[in-house]
Structure 1
Amino acid sequence: MSTTAAGAMVLTSLVVALMVVHVPLGDYMYRVFSRETHSRGERFVYSVIGVDPESEQTWAAYARSVLAFSAVSVVFLFVLQLVQGKLPLHLNDPATSMTPGLAWNTAVSFVTNTNWQAYAGESTQGHLAQMAGLSVQNFVSAAVGMAVAVAFVRGFIGRHTAVLGSFWVDLVRGSLRILLPAAIVGATVLIAGGVVQNFHLNDQSLTSLTGAPQTIPGGPVASQEAIKLLGTNGGGFYNANSAHPFENPTAWTNWVEIFLLVVIAFSLPRTFGRMVGNTKQGHAIVAVMAVLALAGVGLLSCSQLAHHGTVPTAVGAASEGIEQRLGVADSAVFAAATTLTSTGAVDSAHDSYTSLGGLMTMVDMQLGEVAPGGVGSGLYGILILAVITVFAAGLMVGRTPEYLGKKIGAREIKLATSYFLVMPVVVLCGTAISIALPGPRSAMTNAGPHGLSEVLYAFTSAANNNGSAFAGLAADGVWYETALGIAMLLGRFVPIILVLALAGALAAQGRTPESIGTLPTHKPQFVGLVVGVTAILVALTFLPALALGPLAEGLH
């Protein structure tokens, strides 16, 4: 079978599988977040953390809860990494111990759902730190995104109210009722596929075929692998991430991993449609996601399958950066899926892609990761773009700027456009400062356009809470540990505050009845408008930087 046919088969089977689970999973999540009763397990958690599950919060209180929970999580994970050498199940290798700067960067990374890794997991993080620190954050950081998305949708369905629900209830339900059972199923499937799951430290009792001693790193890999994908986290147990055979042994486990990293995000529009009482609205949102995703996957796959490698005339360039167990086609689909979401897991080296392939991985993130985007963050991101589209369409054709019965006035559009501007400002300012300063510039292994692409990719990944990287940038120095950590914080929490503020403004309104001037937001016309607005905004914002980086490299 040709590589092109193999890639088409992988993509087609993924689309079919996602269509099959879209309705039942979306409906299940709707029931989880809409039910009024609480299980005994949930009530036990509420009693431990001292929360009244019947008390709802204003948008400001909801935002304060998100920030407080995340701040405590950063501190806990930071301390855990620094003291892990004194705890059980640690590798006890002083040569790879955590520094304060690296611990800060990693703590921020996992709490913000970025999972940027400036370290080698198998030699730096002990098993306890991986399980009690990183894996826990994989659950709760994803649950935070889902909670914010649900609160935002409640803003559309609220009528003259000041409350958006309870962050703590949404967090617990998302973790216990959705992510935990799905992760158990996913981990079981991965274990059946050969992914490692044990408590072994480095086994040095083996000998390679050449007679040299061989160190085999074990660990609770499958359990972390499942939630890293389901929660669009992306942090690998090993430095090679999903290219490592212990994390991703075969082509079919590669398919399972791609499915896991997009399944919840593609099902949330169904949840949205059920919550607003109109499933056609959910169909429109998932259609926008699908159009953007298929375009991203198609363009990236074509750029890789046409000719692969940063040095296409060199011997073996067609296999550069590709894990041979998986091949070019599967790797290209994985790369598109991981950058279209906020996952950041990799099964190949994005730095070794063609210039246009590398360009597409950046563009996928610069869309705002809304196709389908991160768990929760993708939904509220695409809804923000829908709000902007409604307002722009109203200006162009004289329609009343309304969305789901809510007027989009001056306050609402200011919050929506501010949300959109946060990420580009962080990306472009961070890249410009890093290129301008001699110290950060010296961390670039490559000069010229590719060096710029490395820095641009790093800040795009950090500000979009993606976590993948171009190789070649020495990002473990003080500057990048600090600057990328700040980019992750700004890229995660400033948009969340703006989303919740917009939700509060919408919930305070009544419902505006549809009229002849109301723009239909459930038809193909609206889907095309949102796709067009998204593409135009991204092109206007990032095209100059991309022209100096991957586009210039491709034309060289």
Structure 2
Amino acid sequence: MTLSGWGLILAFTALVALLARPVGAWLFALYEGRTTPLHRVLGPLERGFYRASGIDPAREQSWLTYALHMLAFQVVLTLFTYAILRLQGYLPMNPRGLAGIGTDGAMNTAIAFVTNTNWQWYAGESVLTNLSQMVGLTLHNFLSAATGIAVAFALFRGFARHETGTVGNFWADCTRVTLYLLLPLSLVYALFLIASGVPQTFASLVEAHTLEGAKQAIVLGPVASQEAIKMLGTNGGGFYNANSAHPFENPTALTNFVEMLSIFAIGSGLTWCFGRAVGNTRQGWAILAAMLILFVAGAGITYWQEAQGASALTHAGFAGGNMEGKEIRFGIAGSALFAAVTTAASCGAVNAMHDSFTALGGMIPLFNMQLGEIVIGGVGSGIYGFLLFAILAVFVAGLMVGRTPEYVGKKIEAREIKLAVLAIAVLPLSILGFTALACMLPAGLAGPLNKGPHGFSEILYAFSSATANNGSAFAGLSAGTPFYNGLLGVAMWVGRFFVIVPVLAIAGSLAAKRQTPATSGSFPTTGGLWVGLLVGVILILGGLTFLPGLALGPIADQVTLSAGQTF
């Protein structure tokens, strides 16, 4: 461990906090439907879309209508992408003559990108055409991110409004977020990446001569445009199989730092936007404080473990940190921080191989996902997932003081508690249930390349990543089989939409309630006590739920390695 490594973690955290307000202010303008400077340029495009589709953006929707329109949109997008992937061999922009993808692989990939998971069982540069990358996948990087933010806006309105039956208009929310936030930010970001050396071309490949005198074909394509929205939208699907460890996706230490910041930028801004929406920005700062406490603790543990190095090598007399599976240009600190960032958000981009992390160093990214990726979290999904825990936390506080819990002026009653528990229970049921199924069936046991606790960790990580809509892989798991493609596809769909629907139901329930003014008996939800309660509830709930699974995987792995035993 070095001071520069700790300085990197703390400087990154400070910048995330500083970005919250300006990004949040722009998000709040979109939340309210206000005119922004970009409306002069993009306004005609927005109005043209509404006219062509017959949508009235001023027509508000109930939570159920909002949910049904959102779900129908996702089904159509899934089928659209499935068709492109299956037929890519007959479509243009295929200079290498790649064939279409098989049934199970195409459906898995379509679900992965629609749900903002971006799980990749394949090597993008070897399997996908430029058309599939641009239209089939990059399109979803925008729309899945916009959908998450739209759902967060609907929940904000549930808290902010009173005695109304509507939570906004899904199509208007999704369109405004795409046009006035994601598109302009991605354009600027892509230009920065191009200037840093990331390719942006329709050329197929270039030949390079190796030091041995051989020739190597390096695939090119529209990489920068996909990389920009992959990070900003917390998508994570890489143009290349090596993802952000590839020098064409992440060439320098500067791009590495900017990529990490871009993963957290919108998620941190949504916390301030929530506080502004409910009329008290201190509410948003309290949520961000709880998120950053959890993040710094996790990133610190990961860096500490990776800097210590593998215990087996230490026993053998080799000193130094664990550089296996890491890029020299990023080092241990840059790789450990990236792992914590990408799994705290539902991004899934990686600049190092998590399978090569130490046992406890790899456990933190795994645990980040199992918490529901609410530590900043995905764009939209992070804040609405965190608010589910906030509802449980005020319920616990209400039990302690003996009164009906309140949060930001709304009574939290039986319906909201049941819906919050239902949404939170989706993760353990899917993660642990599917992991158990894979560990019992021959098709599941054929996947991991390692035996013992580490092999179990590979299976547990895959279903944690899929259900939490992260998409990062632990590696070491042969997941491109009909069994894993099918089961992981189900886990991704369940983890996304079986959470969103209860969230929207909570939004509708809260919007119909009257505002309850705070009194001297109200539990304060802006100070240090509240932040501590939030952190405690999240850790206790996550620990009680997933500790047995972690004990069978990374913890057992650490114990056996410390004893000098390997599998």
Deviates more, 1:429-438 or 1:293-302: 293-302
In structure 2, distance between residues paired with 1:509 and 1:281: 20
The reply on whether 1:169 has 2:167 as its aligned counterpart is: no
Aligned partner of 1:550 among 531, 545, 554: 554
For 1:182 and 1:523, the matched residues in 2 are separated by 33
Matches within 5 A, 1:329-348: 329-348=333-352
Deviations for 1:62-119, whole angstroms, at most 9, x for unmatched residues?
000110110000000000111111222225355x741111110000000000000000
Deviation at 1:193, TM superposition (A): 1.4
Q: Aligned to 1:319, what secondary structure does the other structure show? A: coil
**Distance 1:162-1:138 versus aligned 2 partners, 3 A rule:** same
Deviation at 1:310, TM superposition (A): 7.5
* Aligned residue in 2 for 1:179: 182
Partner Cα distance (1:329, 1:232) in 2: 21
2:549 & 2:312 partners in 1: Cα distance? 20
1:152-163 map, 5 Å: 152-163=155-166
- Partner of 1:21 in structure 2? 19
Shift of 1:127: 0.8
Q: Matched residues in 1 for 2:292 and 2:139: separation?
A: 30
Q: Which amino acid aligns with 2:241?
A: N
Q: 1:233 is aligned with what amino acid?
A: N
For 1:307, the equivalent position in structure 2 comes to: 309
Please name the residue that 2:241 is paired with. 239
Partner residue in 2 for 1:9: 7
Q: Deviations over 1:421-476 (max 9, x none)?
A: 00110000000000011121122211111111000000000000000011111100
Asked if the contact 2:9–2:296 (Cα under 8 Å) also holds between the matched residues in 1, the reply is no
Structure 1 residue 463 corresponds to structure 2 residue 463: no
Are residue 251 (structure 1) and residue 253 (structure 2) matched?
yes
Q: Residue 495 of structure 2 aligns with which residue?
A: 491
TM-score normalised according to structure 1 size: 0.97
Show the counterpart of 2:206. Answer: 203
Match of 1:123 in 2: 126
- Matches of 2:111 and 2:433 in 1, distance apart? 20
Deviation at 1:505, TM superposition (A): 0.6
Pair 311,151 (structure 1): closer, same or farther in 2 beyond 3 Å: farther
Cα displacement (A) at 1:252: 1.1
Residue type of the alignment partner of 2:242 = A
Alignment-mate amino acid for residue 251 of structure 2:
P
Of 303, 310, 325, which residue of structure 1 is paired with 2:329?
325
Aligned residues: 552
Q: Could you tell me how far 1:22 is from its partner in structure 2? A: 1.7
Tell whether 2:79 aligns with 1:81. Answer: no
State how far apart, in whole Å, the 1-side matches of 2:240 and 2:332 are: 21
Task: Tell whether the 8 Å contact from 1:334 to 1:347 is kept in structure 2 after alignment.
Answer: yes
- Matched with 1:281 is 283
Structure 1 counterpart of 2:265, one-letter code: V
TM normalised by structure 2 equals: 0.95
CA contact (8 A) 2:20 2:269 kept: yes
| Structure 1, 308-317 or 78-87: larger mean CA deviation | 308-317
Which one is further off, 516-525 or 455-464?
Answer: 516-525
Distance in 2, Cα, partners of 1:216 & 1:178 = 33
Task: Tell me by how many angstroms 1:296 deviates.
Answer: 1.1
SS class of match (2:216):
strand
Q: Distance in 1 between matches of 2:198 and 2:4?
A: 23
> Residue 143 of structure 1: CA displacement?
0.3
Alignment partners' CA distance in 2, 1:296 and 1:71: 36
Q: Which one-letter code corresponds to 1:419 in the other structure?
A: A
Partners of 1:266 and 1:312 lie apart in 2 by 39
Equivalent AA in structure 2 for residue 55 of structure 1:
R
**Mapped pair 1:150 → 2:153:** yes
- Note the C-alpha offset of 1:50: 2.1
Establish whether residue 407 from structure 1 lines up as the match of residue 411 from structure 2. Answer: yes
1:12-161 matches, cutoff 5 A: 12-35=10-33, 39-94=43-98, 97-161=100-164
After TM superposition, the structure 1 stretch with the greater mean CA deviation from structure 2, 313-322 or 68-77, is 313-322
Query: What is the letter of the counterpart of residue 221 of structure 1?
Result: V
**Deviation at residue 9 of structure 1 after TM alignment:** 2.8
RMSD of aligned Cα (Å)? 1.6
Give the C-alpha shift of residue 326 in structure 1: 1.3
One-letter code of the match for 1:220?
P
CA distance in 1, matches of 2:223, 2:548: 41
Letter in 2 for 1:136: L
Q: 1:391 aligns with which of 395, 400, 413?
A: 395
The question of whether the paired residues in 1 share the 8 Å contact of 2:123 and 2:241 is answered with yes
| Letter of the 1:198 counterpart | T
Residue of 442, 446, 451 corresponding to 1:442: 446
Give, in angstroms, the shift of residue 207 of structure 1. Answer: 2.3
Q: CA deviation at 1:387?
A: 0.7
Q: Residue 313 of structure 1: CA displacement?
A: 5.8
Letter in 2 for 1:14: F
Q: Which amino acid aligns with 2:404?
A: T
Residue-by-residue CA offset, 1:331-381 (whole Å, 9 max, x unaligned): 000000000000000000000000001111111111111110000000001
The answer for unaligned runs of 5 or more in structure 2 is: 561-567
Any stretches of 5+ residues in structure 1 without a counterpart?
none
Aligned partner of 2:542: which letter? V
Percent of aligned pairs sharing the same letter: 50
